[in-house]
Structure 1
Amino acid sequence: MSSQPTTSDARWAGQHVVVVGLGLSGFAAADALMQRDAVVTVVSRDRNETMDKRAQILETLGVTVLFGDDVPGAPPADTQLVVTSPGVPPTNAFLVAAADAGIPVWGEVELAWRMRPEDAPPWLVITGTNGKTTAVTMLESILQAAGLRATAAGNVGTPILDAVLDPEPYDVLAVELSSFQIHWSSSLSPYASCLLNVAPDHIDWHGSYDEYRRTKGRVFERTQVAAVYNAQDPTTEELLREADVVEGCRAIGFTTGTPDISMLGVVDDVLADRAFVPDRRTTAAELATIEDLTIDGAPPAPHYIADALAAAALARAYDVSPAAVQAGLRAYRPQPHRVQSLGRVGDVLFIDDSKATNTDAAMGSVTAYDNIVWIAGGLLKGADVDDLVRAAASHLRGVVLLGRDRARLAEALDRHAPDVPVVDIASTDTGAMTQVVRAAHSLARPGDVVLLAPAAASMDMFDNYGARGDAFAAAVSELDS
């Protein structure tokens, strides 16, 4: 087996590469490899109309595409590299066979890192169980406010290969990485990195919480300038202490409380930087105010403030000015379905946090507002909801439950919030969300927040969390019509 290309001038021509999966990342990987004259085969057990169209394009360009039963049980004998889509687990038989045969297995992020040109833009990398898309798009907004050509890439936004190989080079990349993408990466060396938080998730894919936790911590490996951790989540600091960073790399904390030296935090409603200033002991730079994070009159939730601080820390590590940080945060609008304000109906504010698909994510939302009507339920994936409901209890005006596992939430509410009115929506048809929203609106009083933060996955009733959020928004618009 020949050695693998590892630098921008490496010769890809003639390399026999198998790409596993024909989603966006698989298509991008196959295209990039083909353009560099590699011999490319794409294999996909799944097949749909979109994949068929991608296959037609690739086959026209000389790529071999195999679907379903045509996919072999192991890579062909002449395979020198396997590039896998991020969602394929390490227990996949094809990937196990590749590893057993000594064939390197990379993800598309690793491929992008290896393919980057000599003058490639630095990577500012973010991961975490919750909040990473908000933080990375906040970072994108800040970098652009600084006049830099920047984009959010990786697990969100621009495909990472497209960003790295863009003919008009970016100045800097804001890169979101999932635990799957980190698992399949081995040589990344980000300019700066950030771990927002760690809570149990994707245990089935990683095999254990310990492995998931360890994988998240790998985001810090080989970080060059600044490794950013959450001072309110001890696990992130512990994982940073275990990481092998580049000599001289600084540890930078963030907290929604008062910052210590080498931290960013909040002082009297001001986002303050005590890390990237000349005299960290006696001075701080004002980056923004809490009011700068307010959208449509909705006060920012604590986890939203934390995401802003993390984004600001990475930007400041890249020498972005405080004024640009403030301008970027002021201009920023949340991504759909992530603590997204839908406006008011009468004097009741509606918030869509359909992306809160686990209990840890929902915890941040339900405890952020004083009086809420909480919409919750779906596929709980075996999660224990008692801590969440106990924390939410004092904030609840009422609860509307939907989805397959709503009974478990109802039982927890009966234990920890027995006096809170609960409406159970048994319907699972397309009109169910209309019933949910009407019930929630009837429970709300002027000044309350109706919050969709399901603490559960959506696939029992919807294609994905986005479809669930869209149905919520449509039902709210009907109220206001």
Structure 2
Amino acid sequence: MTEESPVTPDPSRLDTLTSWNVDWKGLRVAVLGLASTGFSVADTLAELGADVLVLTETATEEYSRLLPVIGARLWEGPLATVPDELVAFAPEVVVASPGFPPSHAVVSWARESGVPLWGDIELAWRVRDKVPAASGEPAEWVFITGTNGKTTTTRLTATMLVEGGLRAAPCGNIGVPILDAVRDPAGFDVLVVELSSHQLWYLGLNDGPGSPSPHSAVCLNLADDHLVWHGSFDAYRDAKAHVYRHTRSACVYNKADEATLHMVEDADVVEGARAVGFDLGTPGPSDLGLVDGILVDRAFLEERRTSALELTTVEALAARDLAAPHIVANILAAAALARSLGVEPAAIRSALEHFRLDPHRIEVVARHAGVTWVDDSKATNPHAAASSLAAYPGAVWVVGGQLKGVDISELVALRGPASRAAVVIGIERAEVVAAFARHAPAVPVFEVDDAETETVMDRAVELAAAVAGDGDVVLLAPAAASFDQFTGYDDRGARFAAAVRARIDGGAERERNDDAAPEGH
């Protein structure tokens, strides 16, 4: 790493860059990372006429080919130390992909050198006026974060908004980079932005002309996660709290999670913004909640002190496999955001009639011989797994993987004793098995010591089937990341479902063969 420092940037120029239509030409920008987010940043800046240098440890052939086409340069190599090429480039701003933690060498260099550091969200806010909405104004933004439930709530909110007649798009951490949504020539009335704690950490670095001001925002819940990236739980919590900063209309929080209330109380919001609570209890005059199995809104109506508006019923949600408690909570949060933008209760009911959860989120993959098999591979941390186990108490629990520095003992102590049995997978099995020995010693525990991706779920399903009886649920809720044995939570869930179906189909085939066999003499 060189000791040389870059040319000191001119902050006054950056303060003027708050529109697509101002002069970005020649601005020297270093872009960290070249996955979908990094490419969207480079593509946007190149279109604006900036001088773009992209730095990445590895680049796909497609992106390597496209960068010179759009007019950006690529530096590929180790980033454990700061490349001399970056220092010589003397960037006026660094835009980092969310995978780069605060401790990363290049991130630390930028902060220590006084080079402004943005994420893709701040850049997108600055150029949000590229394609105006039908009103002629930029799209409204809605922010959604939380340890769990972000993607489901983002999809729910967008679905409700569209049903209410608004052009809305889910984007951000959900998979569609926000800069792609901002530049979509179709234009939108509302962007529903899912935000990871990583994106929110970058958002918290700057509080000036480029700082977003969402219409409404929610933090769904808070629990231990991504502690290695952030360095501590306090840093993780503080990053999440940035979701409420400069909110203009509704700060939606979880009444069952006190941390989210404190975030709202401490937030620097625009005068007039309201706190709107949600949970599964009876709602107060500025809340959404449940009354006798009916989801109701007591926040967005004139007579909220004496009346409530019906949104839907738990019975109606159950008919569409949407009645798990944590899903109902997500629905209430999404409804609060949609109501803050004027969507009527009838549109919310209609949206829920055709909404389906994404795969690998408490997805029933089979019901056979009295056993229900449920794939909740998306439960990648203990908080998410606890919600799944609350929805299916007494399940045969398939658990384990990469724990990401999180202690699983509290979850096992809370939910483990009620489990029918536990089938433990993953490279950190010892921690899980030890937690059961301490906190749920009466529960049968089976280990899958097969490290082969192709067969680990076959063995897990085999062990689960051996203990599951009529009326039981086998629940894949790993409470851990998947990259030890799989390419992602979706791969893990798909392999679980395939193993279940193969076992069922194999059993049916054996039955057919037995029926066709001649009787013995």
Task: Give the one of 146, 157, 161 matched to 1:139.
Answer: 157
Aligned to 1:224: 248
**Bigger shift: residues 321-330 or 401-410:** 401-410
The percentage of aligned residue pairs carrying the same residue is: 45
Distance 2:467 2:319 in 1: 24
Task: Give the one of 377, 395, 405 matched to 1:382.
Answer: 405
Q: Output aligned runs, 1:56-205, within 5 Å.
A: 56-69=65-78, 72-73=83-84, 74-117=86-129, 119-185=137-203, 186=206, 187-205=211-229
CA deviation string 1:277-320 (max 9, x = no partner)? 11111100111111333366x46321111111111110011110
Distance 1:316 1:456 in 2: 34
CA deviation string 1:161-181 (max 9, x = no partner)? 011111111111111000111
Distance 2:326 2:461 in 1: 25
Q: Output aligned runs, 1:232-381, within 5 Å.
A: 232-294=256-318, 298=321, 300-381=323-404
Which AA in structure 1 matches 2:168?
Answer: A
C-alpha displacement at 1:338, in angstroms? 1.8
Task: Give the one of 41, 51, 73 matched to 1:39.
Answer: 51
Q: Is the 8 Å Cα contact of residues 18 and 75 (structure 1) preserved in structure 2?
A: no
> Max radius of gyration: which structure?
2
**Bigger shift: residues 325-334 or 240-249:** 325-334
Distance 1:328 1:299 in 2: 13
Aligned to 2:427: 404
Where structure 2 has 5 or more consecutive residues not aligned to the other structure, the ranges are 1-8, 506-521
Q: Say which SS state the counterpart of residue 88 (structure 2) adopts.
A: coil
Q: Output aligned runs, 1:377-456, within 5 Å.
A: 377-393=400-416, 395-429=418-452, 430-456=454-480
Aligned to 2:23: 11
Distance 2:422 2:107 in 1: 45
Distance 1:364 1:370 in 2: 10
**Bigger shift: residues 72-81 or 132-141:** 72-81
C-alpha displacement at 1:450, in angstroms? 1.1
Which AA in structure 2 matches 1:16?
Answer: R
Q: Is the 8 Å Cα contact of residues 394 and 419 (structure 2) preserved in structure 1?
A: yes
Distance 1:416 1:478 in 2: 34
**Bigger shift: residues 185-194 or 455-464:** 455-464
Distance 2:319 2:485 in 1: 30
CA 1:405–1:61 in structure 2 vs 1: closer, same or farther (change >3 Å)? closer
Where structure 1 has 5 or more consecutive residues not aligned to the other structure, the ranges are none
CA deviation string 1:36-68 (max 9, x = no partner)? 111111111234xxx231121111232111100
Distance 1:135 1:450 in 2: 25
Q: Is the 8 Å Cα contact of residues 109 and 160 (structure 1) preserved in structure 2?
A: yes
Aligned to 1:52: 61
Q: Is the 8 Å Cα contact of residues 215 and 249 (structure 2) preserved in structure 1?
A: yes
Q: Is the 8 Å Cα contact of residues 367 and 391 (structure 1) preserved in structure 2?
A: no
Q: Say which SS state the counterpart of residue 40 (structure 1) adopts.
A: strand
CA 1:145–1:446 in structure 2 vs 1: closer, same or farther (change >3 Å)? farther
Distance 1:165 1:157 in 2: 16
Q: Is the 8 Å Cα contact of residues 417 and 439 (structure 2) preserved in structure 1?
A: no
Q: Is the 8 Å Cα contact of residues 146 and 321 (structure 1) preserved in structure 2?
A: yes
Q: TM-score, with normalisation over the residues of structure 2?
A: 0.88
Q: Say which SS state the counterpart of residue 431 (structure 1) adopts.
A: helix
**Bigger shift: residues 249-258 or 461-470:** 461-470
Which AA in structure 2 matches 1:435?
Answer: R
Which AA in structure 2 matches 1:147?
Answer: G
CA deviation string 1:205-245 (max 9, x = no partner)? 11221111111011000000000000000000011101010
Q: TM-score, with normalisation over the residues of structure 1?
A: 0.95
Distance 1:69 1:221 in 2: 35
Q: Is the 8 Å Cα contact of residues 366 and 500 (structure 2) preserved in structure 1?
A: no
C-alpha displacement at 1:394, in angstroms? 5.0
Q: Say which SS state the counterpart of residue 374 (structure 2) adopts.
A: strand
C-alpha displacement at 1:456, in angstroms? 1.3
Q: Say which SS state the counterpart of residue 391 (structure 2) adopts.
A: coil
Distance 1:292 1:174 in 2: 25
Which AA in structure 2 matches 1:103?
Answer: V
Which AA in structure 1 matches 2:272?
Answer: G
Aligned to 2:495: 471
Distance 1:26 1:408 in 2: 36
C-alpha displacement at 1:347, in angstroms? 2.6
C-alpha displacement at 1:112, in angstroms? 0.6
Distance 2:113 2:434 in 1: 51
Distance 1:211 1:412 in 2: 27
Distance 1:11 1:146 in 2: 37
Q: Is the 8 Å Cα contact of residues 345 and 479 (structure 1) preserved in structure 2?
A: no
Q: Say which SS state the counterpart of residue 123 (structure 1) adopts.
A: strand
Distance 1:252 1:87 in 2: 32
CA 1:382–1:167 in structure 2 vs 1: closer, same or farther (change >3 Å)? closer
C-alpha displacement at 1:440, in angstroms? 1.2
Q: How many residues align?
A: 477
CA 1:480–1:295 in structure 2 vs 1: closer, same or farther (change >3 Å)? farther
Runs of 4+ residues over 3 Å off in structure 1? 73-78
CA 1:408–1:69 in structure 2 vs 1: closer, same or farther (change >3 Å)? closer
Distance 1:405 1:204 in 2: 16
Distance 1:77 1:42 in 2: 11
C-alpha displacement at 1:69, in angstroms? 5.0
